[in-house]
Structure 1
Amino acid sequence: MAGTSAGIVAALTAAALGTVGFLAFRAQATVPANLTGRPGAGASAAAAAGKAPRDRRDPTALPSASGTGERVVYSVDDDRVWLVDGRERTLRGFPVRPGSVDPAPGTYWVSSRSNAVTGTDGVPIEHVVRFTTVNGVTIGFSAAVGDGGQAVPDPAVKTGGIRETRADGEAMWNFATIGVKVVVIR
């Protein structure tokens, strides 16, 4: 009987170790690459890291994990914006030049708009579409009047303006009315 008990204990121990090993493997498969120092496991790792998967054939294509419905999609890492209608069609995609303060990935809504004001960097801007505030800095899309706001911003000044060309700014203005969803991704 003692031999049988020892065999049962050994079998249960082996089963427990196998289960723990399997669970550890599954947990490791979803850890983002930036935490493990090596590439993660496909889309789950990209999503866990806040980075939406991209179409490798077309880097300007709308990221697949960027929400649903009518929305503005802003990629902080790619400095790019997409305007997406309610039927999941990209109406326009364009590069932008962000300010010195980035919004966190997440879902926001257009909260205010101004046709023409002066930006925190002192540049006259138009078609301002605001959607959040980070540490007292208002974040929003805008187009600079005049030189297009292409001057290098002063790093000592905290700015939240995400600058577009005037043509892209007009498209944003016409699309992103109060309450339109803004999805920020890495």
Structure 2
Amino acid sequence: MHFQAFFGTFTQLSAEKTLLPSLTSVLPELAPSLGLTSQALYERARALIRLELLPSAEGRGRRSGAQAEPAHIALLIIAVMATDNLSEIDGRVRRLAQAKIIGKQRASRCPITDATNFHDALTALLSDKVSVSRDTDTLIEISVSRFEPKAWIEYFAWPGLKEPVHTEFGETDQRRFDVLSVSSELPHGAFLAIKEIASRARESKL
């Protein structure tokens, strides 16, 4: 199933006929924040296209295919955080992107992004829907489990909130404690750098 038809909340964002820079064109900027080379990111993007999670290019236009929009950048981030091994970019990326809010907030929405799944929450944070800047004390930390479809977003010093907010995404509330637990983290500084890249891409659209 095509990526733009697969995810709910932000399908309209992906379907807009705005001409954004291609996702490939911003990979050199994204690479330092994600700890990979631009070539390694390109190979992950190609894997996502093969899985039909990112759109493939149609024609020869440089703006054809995946664009540097929040929804596509968010999916690439998920693919990088979910595994170190390119061969493991498979159904687990789809499951993690689709993971719903669990725990105390089960059957509810993220209080910051209003999203109900991990991909939509990450997309909202990268878009202009949620305002985050280096000039505030607000902090965001994103973590992803390497062994199961679970992710966490931590919000600190958020305007209007008296205490930090912990939003957990997954398929079940249960966690395994009988195996090694490995997770990847996207710290606040790296997140802001990526958000700024997405913002510049929106500003440069024709």
TM-score if structure 1 supplies the norm length?
0.30
| Higher relative helix content | 2
TM-score if structure 2 supplies the norm length?
0.28
| Higher relative strand content | 1
| Bigger radius of gyration among the two | 1
